[in-house]
Amino acid sequence: MKEGFGMNEEHFGTAVDYFRAFEAVLAEGIPESHLALLRAHLAAPEHATTWARLAKSVGYSSGRSVNLQYGKFAARFARQLGLIDKPLDPGGVRWWLWALVRWADGYDADSGHTVFVLRRPAVEALCQLRLFEETAFELLPGELDPAAPIREGTRYQVLANTYERNPDARRRCIAAHGTACYICGFSFGAMYGAEADGYIHVHHVTPLSEVGGEYVVDPVKDLRPVCPNCHAVLHMGGRCRTIDEVRQLLRYTRHAEPVAYKIE
């Protein structure tokens, strides 16, 4: 493998940068064939694949076709990421896809082909966007729940139904309600500075899983900006709490008696 194949995972940007770039491309529109490539790559074990395996996953005739189509999407994405020229990989080749992937350490054991892996910021951003329905994700060690029992070498697979979000509805929600959490008031920009400014989850007051399909969303009435913590509590335990319920939890804990911790 080429020396320096890995490069810094955030060489081209953070997960926040990737999230914004994906959102921008989504707003322009993405062919289903390009979404299929992203879906298959994200669902691959450890997000690693070869051209031949990716072609087989999405029904392309050859890895060359995948290379061409994936490159077209990557060019749009890289420009939204702020790249003007094709990135240069460690082998001296310029290609747009380098903004999304890196070379794996070694070759595919069955075919001997080169293996490429989705960069971690890309994985985090795609999972945050929740684009893909009934897609299996094999979690990497750094992506496991830290509270869960961990056995060395164990991987967990999570299956979930997700529903397509309209990026324009998200923008209009934020334009109406701002980027501070509608429940607790937390602001990423105020806490972490310019790099995180504008980052926020958007919550459907009525969950899409309960709507049961496509519907006309009112970004002002139906959506609210919420921080990841409050979003987790809204959906904790397999049900959807109301915004007022979570606010009430906050009021209770903020006015409760201080907890005395024993120092060992």
What's the average pLDDT block by block, 10 residues per block, for the chain (264 residues)? Answer: 52 89 87 86 87 86 85 93 88 89 81 86 83 46 46 42 59 90 92 87 74 67 90 78 90 61 42
Ordered by start, the domain boundaries in the chain are 15-132, 167-255
Contact between 129 and 122 (Cβ < 8 Å): no
pLDDT at position 67, please?
A: 85
pLDDT at position 204, please?
A: 84
pLDDT at position 161, please?
A: 41
CB neighbourhood size of 225 (10 A): 22
Residue 261 burial by CB count (10 A; 0-12/13-18/19+): exposed, middle or buried? exposed
pLDDT at position 181, please?
A: 94
- The residue written with tokens 């749009």 in the block is 76
Please determine, looking at this structure, whether the domain spanning 15-132 carries the CATH number 1.10.3120. Answer: no
Report the C-alpha gap between 39 and 81 in whole angstroms. 20
pLDDT at position 210, please?
A: 59
pLDDT at position 207, please?
A: 67
pLDDT at position 112, please?
A: 77
Report the C-alpha gap between 104 and 244 in whole angstroms. 47
pLDDT at position 214, please?
A: 53
Structural element, H or E, at residue 138: strand 135-138
Q: Beta-strand (E) ranges in the chain?
A: 48-49, 101-107, 114-118, 135-138, 157-160, 201-204, 223-226
Report the C-alpha gap between 238 and 249 in whole angstroms. 17
